[in-house]
Structure 1
Amino acid sequence: MTAPVSLFESPRDVVERLDAIDYLADEGIATALYLATALQMPLLLEGEPGVGKTSAAISVAAALDTDLIRLQCYEGLAAHDALYEWNYQRQLLAIRLSESRAESMSDADLYAPEYLSERPLLAAIRHQGQRPPVLLIDEIDRADDEFEALLFEFLGEGAVSIPELGTIRAQRRPIVVLTSNRSRELHDALRRRCLYHWIAYPGAAQVAAVLRRTVPAAPESLIADASVFVGRVRELDLDKPPGMAEAIDWVSALITLGVPELMPDAVLPTLGTLVKTPDDHADVADALARGALL
């Protein structure tokens, strides 16, 4: 394994370089990302949906001008989807070609690296480049317990074991970011192998700062009112409180409709951009009618 390279100089450097690509990182997430790169340790980011976990990893890849390799987790995710699989068609063609030449192929010939199809974990291990890639293991809580166990060697040692080839180790460990929405509890063994950071919902000031970047056409008064409104909506007992992405969509919808300020009759038709279930829509509409939000 090659010696670590300097990726970020400090947490402040993380803040400034992410700010340049319009990701507003606070001190907590900036420190976590700095330590993950400096210590070459995986980083587990948890938080409610829509708080910026996935975009943090994407933004780090952009800030470092390196490759992003993404593994989207889901129930039933198997080793051959995440690690590798053998290219059986190429192997079969090689066998037929060998037979046509009256030659024989050994297992070593057949299970050679050229017949290996990389999946995200192996691709991250074998990545070639001046900087390590960012490997995003997104929504690890959606995968099964068995898949978590497959990650232990990779997360702890930066290696992947292939029975036919042995252990393949990264020349330079990838920057690994795992995200979780806490739909289920993760195994302690996985947590022990990672640095950890919880991303909370941003406050009104941070929401406003993001909206200024992402919806530049919105007037300052609308941004200020919308930021407070979103915070109040999150205080309701909703199934799926709106994240930052929903706040951006909502303000964009208001601007598209030419709404200059927040009024109940203007807000109600646009709630479908902010809340995404019938019950949540009814609860927000009720709170709006009672004057609890404006």
Structure 2
Amino acid sequence: MTAQPLPDTIDATSALLDGQGYVGDRSLATVLLLALKLKRPLFLEGEAGVGKTEIAKVLSQALGRELIRLQCYEGLDVSTAVYEWNYAAQMVEIRVSEAAGDTDHGELSKSVFAERFLIKRPVLQALEPSLSGPPVFLIDELDRADEAFEAFLLEVLSDNQVTIPELGTIRAEEPPIVIITTNRTREIHDALKRRCLYHWVDYPDAERELEIVRRKVPGAGDRLSRELVAFVQALRADEDLFKQPGVAETLDWATALTELDQIALDPDMVSDTLGVLLKYQDDIERVRGSRARKIIEEIQRDHDRTASGSA
């Protein structure tokens, strides 16, 4: 992987995203450029499936930097996220030393806590120097981790360092490119947010979502793409849905309908494939049948009206 220079303008940042097939708006390109120039973590918040994680992946590919991902979950601790000691290898070292008659406990303690026995996890890996430049460090779905781990990250984000009691403080020569995502299932503490630049990643409008579908699912016909995007946009306007479909679900649905050789939305096929788009049974039952048929009829009326007007 060959490292690429960082973009130096908003337009260059937009082109960088566009070159990797990511359809973002100018505000995202602006805050991303600032995060790179100021060497500050970028805190991305938004609903699940809107493309937050993809930003880190695209950045890694475009800049030729390694992507180090820390997937957060409840119960995540330092041994999983930062480091742990190779206890089996340490025990072998102790037994070998004892067999050789080495009984100096002070020296033995130093030897078993040497760096060669350290198992480096994502946080520590992100602080290490790399020939291709600082890596892209993705801290994904931070809201799933406990608040205690969130507090631990303050040292990493503030000073680009981590303290290991047996070894001391390990500091990055150059800070990694940090991308933090959260689905807002709980609030993240202000102390952590203050160390980051913030951006809300919203659902795309119809025009941008249509462009995403065209790029990611090129096999979908123009009519099908337009109608399914309009259908998804209509569902997002329904405030009674438990979980609105994200862009990821739109792409999955477009792929599924293309595989089924659909060239336009059909009420029966829509009802049969709603499990690709919606992930809760109550939402599926709400949309299936007459609701889906009504949305499709409205979409097709608007299409006919537009077509007759342009004629």
**Aligned-residue offset at 1:183:** 0.2
Tell me the SS of whatever aligns to 2:294: coil
The equivalent position to 1:167 in structure 2, one of 166, 169, 177, is 169
2:246 pairs with 1:243: yes
Distance 1:32 1:287 in 2: 43
Tell me the CA shift for residue 138 of structure 1: 0.4
Structure 1 residue ranges without an equivalent (≥5): none
- Alpha-carbon distance in structure 2 between the residues aligned to 1:209 and 1:129: 36
* Superposed displacement of residue 274, structure 1: 0.5
Structure 2 partner of 1:10: 9
Aligned partners of 1:182 and 1:293: how far apart in 2?
A: 32
Rounded to whole Å, the distance in 1 between the matches of 2:24 and 2:100 is 62
Structure with max Cα Rg:
2
Root mean square deviation of aligned Cα = 1.5
Residues 15-40 of structure 1, C-alpha deviations (whole Å, 9 max, x = no match): 11221121112111111211111111
1:271 is aligned to 2:274: yes
Instruction: Give the counterpart letter for 1:16 in structure 2.
Output: A
The aligned residue for residue 262 of structure 1 is 265
Deviation of 1:206 after TM superposition, in Å, equals 0.7
Q: 1:102 maps to what in 2?
A: 101
The size of the alignment, in residue pairs, is 290
Q: TM-score, normalised by structure 1?
A: 0.95
Report if the CA contact (8 A) 1:233-1:293 is conserved.
no
Matches of 1:87 and 1:10 in 2, distance apart?
Answer: 45
- 2:189 pairs, out of 187, 190, 204, with 187
User: Displacement, 1:131?
Assistant: 1.5
CA 1:287–1:167: 2 relative to 1, 3 Å: farther
Q: Could you tell me which residue of structure 2 aligns to residue 158 of structure 1?
A: 160
For residues 6 and 258 of structure 1, the distance between their equivalents in structure 2, rounded to whole angstroms, comes to 43
SS at structure 1 position matched to 2:163: strand
Task: Tell me, in whole angstroms, the C-alpha distance in 2 between the residues paired with 1:117 and 1:126.
Answer: 13
What code does the residue aligned with 1:251 have?
Answer: A
* 1:284 corresponding residue in structure 2: 287
* CA deviation map 1:144-168 (0-9, x unaligned): 1101011000011100011111111
Shift of 1:127: 3.6
Counterpart for residue 60 of structure 1: 59
Alignment of 1:109-148 (within 5 A): 109-148=111-150
Gapped regions of structure 2 (runs ≥ 5): 298-311
1:223 corresponds to: 225
Give distance in 1, aligned partners of 2:117 and 2:216: 45
